[in-house]
Every structure is written in structure tokens, then in C-alpha cells.
Structure 1
Amino acid sequence: MSNTSARENIFARLHSASISGASYVPAAEKWVPAPIEDKAARVARFVELMSAMRTEVHQVKGDEWIGKLQEIMAERGLKNLVYGQDTDISKKLESAWKGKKDIAPLVPWTADVEEFRDELFEASAGITTTMGGIAESAAMILWPSPQEPRLLSLVPPVHFAVVKADKIWTSFAEAIEALDWNAKAPTNALLISGPSKTADIELILQFGVHGPTDLIVFVVD
């Protein structure tokens, strides 16, 4: 028997088997979205669940987060802070640090990864903006950009993040709809729910193995 005939026989048997019996299609249950909570409830749940995952959360008003940031850096003896330029918080950071020599310096991300590698890996901390948060899973949404590359939230041992209280949604589905990802989805959206952690080492939960050991979040109202 030729190779062609053998192949045709195999395909014929497969085709016969595919049409002889009805395929099983499981019934899909109707998806019911999580009920949308009011702002106070969303923020409370977000703070509670993030804190449970060893995240340090500070609820502040207006620009109070800047003073709290400087206070924490001084308490922990952090030597510098890497930040992205031309972001929602960069001008406020630069203004608050201007002329001050008694606090750890700001280090702006000004080059590509290869050129900025030494400064990044020597940094004590990094700070990023966020697109918002998700209450039911206690996660922050980050959208890396040339101004705030992914490594800014991954390499420094301490990651500071600023979350606007009115950008905390009940569920991920609600966030996707509110952010209109149907029209413009991010190429690399990140959901961060706490410091880097793994349980691969003898099934013992370890922090800081693949990223920051500390996550400090400012929820700004």
C-alpha cells in the first residue's frame, strides 16, 4: 500500500468517526458580574485584602502621599528613589524634592534599559503610577510605558505605588469596561496584588524572590 493510500484511509476513518457521533458541548452557565459596590466599600475591601497579603497601605488625601513617602524613605534609610518622567506624579515629586538636600535623591529614568541598568539595579526603591485597582482581588493595574517601564516595578527592592481611590473598581470586568479596553487594550497590563512571593522552595512562602520584598501603596482620595 502506498503512503498516499494509507494517509487517505486514515483521514477517511477520522472523518467517518467525526460525523458518526454527536460531539459533547457543555452547557454554559450565564455569567453574572459581581455587584458593583459603592466607593467606600470598594476602597475598604481593597485596603483590607491588600494588607492581608503583606502590603503596606496608606490612605491619604490630596498630595499628602508625598510627605508620607518622604517620611517612609527616611525611616527605612532608603538612599534614592527611581521614578518615571512625564507621568501624573513626576512634576509633584520634582517640586517636593526641589532644593532639599536632607532627603534621599530622586533618580529619573532617562535612558533605555541597557544604558540605565546600573542606576536601576543600585536603586533602593522605585515609584509608579497605576491605572487603578480591583477591590475583589485586591490588585493594582499597571500599564508599563516608555516613561514607566516594567522593570521600574520589578527590580528595586521597595516598590511604591499611587492609586486613586475613585479608580478602584469592584471587579476586573468593571475595570476593563471603565477603562474602555475594548477600544484600546494595553499590550502588557500588570495586576499586582502584593510583594513578590513564591512557594516553590520546599512549599514555604518566600517574599522577594522574583521582585520587590516590600510593596507600599498610597490610596489617594
Structure 2
Amino acid sequence: MGKKLVSQFMEKAKAVSAEVTRVKDCRQAYDTVVQIINEAKVTKVGCPAALSKGLGTVLKENGIVSVSQCSPQEAAELEIGITPGQVGIAETGTVAHDASELFSRYFSMLCSTNIVLLSAAQIKGTMDEAIKDLENDGVQPGYTAFITGPSRTADIERVLTIGVHGPERLCIILIDGGEC
């Protein structure tokens, strides 16, 4: 992990209104997730099965219900969705993850807040490097989500609206001590 890449990623992500918190390890990452959830006064979140081992236990200990499967309507009613990030792209502040699992896709797109857990070691300089990193034996995932800040769109009069086609808030937790 290059310090320059991590700094560039954080700078670019913050420039597009993502909230980035850098932590030392998984325990700090989980504590940060709980803090974000508690600040939002939420007791039920979406969290795909891939993250539910360690994080699910911490959420349960803190009285937070974690849903790993639900309908799109139910996901849209959840205020917070938590997803794993497979790779970060320093040149744009983008997080990418394999969203082939339907519920992971729901939690990153339909909840009003998306919390992404990303290992700092997975930050690449460019989109090309990130795409190569996402390949599994030369095969791309069936569905990859590229997330650059909260969802935004503008109409013909250039009126910017946040959260129309995805989350209004993106919280990236950057973990120095590997993946959780």
C-alpha cells in the first residue's frame, strides 16, 4: 500500500462528498460502523452475509439487527446498508465491489446511507489497475458496482440533487490492517 495512493484516494473521495474514516484494524472499523449507526439512531441495517461473521457479532452486541437478505422494497426502507469494498481507485476516489450477490447490490444502492469497508492495501492508482484486481482468474464479476461519492444527478437546468439514484450518504471506512 502506497501512502501516496491512500492520501490521493482520501482526497478525491472527500472531494466528491464521501466521508472517509481511516482506522488501524477491524475492531476500530466495527466500532466506527456502530458509531455511524448509533448517530443515525437506527436499529436495523442491511449487511450481506460476506460481512456478517465478525461485524454481525458486534452489531448484535450493540442491539442492532442485521439483515442479510430482503426484498428491494425492504432494502429501500433500511436507512443504512453496509458493503465490502474490493478495491479503491485513487485517481477518482471510487470504491468498487463485486455486487454479483443481489443483496450486496441492494444495500449499496437502495439504502439512504452506504457504509463501505475497504482495506487500504486494496487501493490502486487507476481504473485499469482496479479492473485487473477485480478479475478472478481472468474473469470479471457478473456485476461490479463503482461508487464515487453519494448518488447525484442534475436536470436540464443544472439543479443538482443528491440521492435520487442511490445513497444520499457514502461513508468509507479505510482499514490499514487488512480486510475484515
| TM superposition score normalised by structure 2 | 0.88
Distance 1:76-1:187 versus aligned 2 partners, 3 A rule: same
For residue 40 of structure 1, what is the amino acid of its counterpart?
K
Q: Which secondary structure does the structure 1 equivalent of 2:155 belong to?
A: coil
- For 1:67-146, what aligned pairs fall within 5 Å after superposition? 67-85=31-49, 87=50, 89-101=51-63, 104-109=64-69, 116-146=71-101
Moved more, 158-167 or 184-193: 184-193
Give unpaired runs (5+ residues) of structure 2: none
- Measured after TM superposition, the shift of residue 182 of structure 1 is 7.1
Change (3 A) 1:47 1:124: same
Structure 1: gaps of 5 or more residues: 1-37
Q: Is the 8 A contact 2:85 2:118 kept in 1?
A: yes
Within 1, Cα distance between the matches of 2:61 and 2:91?
42
| Larger Cα-atom Rg | 1
Q: Which has the higher contact order (CA 8 A, sep 6+)?
A: 2
CA distance in 2: counterparts of 1:94 and 1:39, whole angstroms: 30
Mapped to 1, the partners of 2:39 and 2:134 lie a distance apart of 36
Contact 2:68 2:103 in 1 (8 A): no
How much identity, in percent, do the aligned residues show?
Answer: 29
Give the superposition deviation at 1:118.
Answer: 4.2
In the other structure, the counterpart of 1:3 is none
Alignment RMSD:
1.9
Aligned partners of 1:84 and 1:147 also within 8 Å: no
Give the secondary structure class of the aligned counterpart of 1:98: helix
On the 8 A contact 1:199/1:205 being kept in 2, the answer is yes
SS in 2 for 1:73: helix
Match for 1:175: what amino acid? Answer: A
In the comparison of the two structures, how many residue pairs are matched?
175
- Could you say what secondary structure the match of 2:91 adopts? coil
Match of residue 45 from structure 1: 8
Q: CA deviation at 1:144?
A: 0.9
| Pairing of 1:192-203 with structure 2 (within 5 A) | 192-200=147-155, 202-203=157-158
- Which structure shows the bigger proportion of residues in strand conformation? 2
Report the Cα distance in structure 1 between the residues aligned to 2:152 and 2:122, rounded to whole angstroms: 26
